[in-house]
Amino acid sequence: MAACSKGEPDALFVQGAAQQQAKQICLRCPVVRECLADALDNRTEFGVWGGMTERERRAMLRRHPSVPSWKALFERGLDCQESA
């Protein structure tokens, strides 16, 4: 079960410094990689997902535009440099 499912859902849809607090929720989450992969694969625009803010996810997608499936990449245990 996701760590965020036990708290206030709006806690992950914040701006500014509050995003750092939201990211802390993800640190203890057992499905953080799956969550991040889903957000990257679906180009989720808002909120903290998988321990990353929307800005951080956009930057990751720009740096690695050739990744066809983040879920598959993470399942294979690879990082972005190994996939190139």
Alpha-carbon distances, residue 27 vs 23, 30, 61, 73 (angstroms): 7, 9, 21, 20
Q: Which pLDDT score, from 0 to 100, does residue 80 have?
A: 59
- Return the pLDDT at 84: 44
Those residues of the chain that have pLDDT short of 50 are 83-84
Q: Is 26 annotated as a binding residue?
A: yes
**Is 4 annotated as ligand-binding?**
yes
Supply angle C-alpha 51, 55, 58, rounded to 5.
Answer: 95
Angle, helix 32-41 to helix 54-63, in steps of 10 degrees: 70
pLDDT at 78: 65
Please list, in sequence order, all residues whose beta carbon lies within 8 angstroms of the beta carbon of residue 79, skipping any fewer than 6 positions away.
73
Do 4 and 25 meet the contact criterion of CB atoms below 8 Å apart? yes
